[in-house]
Amino acid sequence: MKQFLFAALIMVALLPLCAWDSGCQSNDDKVSVQQEQMQSQTAAQVGMPGITNFTEMKMLRHLYELRDQAISTYTYVPDMNGKLWHLCDSVGFGIPYSAQFSSSEKATEYAYPMPQAEPNGLFMPASAEGTWVMCGAKSGTQPVYVESRIIVSTIKLRAAGEYAAD
């Protein structure tokens, strides 16, 4: 019995040393090291792509700038057959319901993130299917909440109803 206790004490005492021994690595740690080695080999053999025009980044910048303007758009709702129905003339591209004005989390004194309420006191969902669309009206824009998928375009699309093409 004394030998068993002595052996157990030695094992417990040596356990912290396991962190420096590669034989004590978890499978996740081993895979992570292997992936890092593979990425280094890939970079050495293939290198980075020869991107010189940065077209996609320029397009993304342009989209961000368009979203920052109150541009006229047209909002459509597709039916189950894929046919588009004009919902309204709109402003902007629609805002997902789950978009938040402030950060969804705040740090605590214990470094654990905690949910943070919006300025209205409500906690927003991490995801939601709805979209807010600012539909044009004679007295200005009016928000319309839409739960179905929508298509927002800066040009009129071929659709059933008001803007159907002949």
- Secondary structure (3-state) at 54: coil
pLDDT for res 59: 96
The two tokens of residue 54 are 């940065």
Q: Structure tokens of 42?
A: 């890939």
pTM: predicted TM-score of the whole model, two decimal places? 0.63
Q: How many residues are given for the chain?
A: 166
Identify the CA nearest to 156 among candidates 75, 79, 92. 75
Domain ranges of the chain: 70-163
**Quick one: pLDDT band at residue 163, thresholds 50, 70, 90?**
very low
Choose between 103 and 24: higher pLDDT. Answer: 103
Q: What is the pLDDT of residue 11?
A: 57
- Select the more confidently predicted residue: 17 or 132: 132
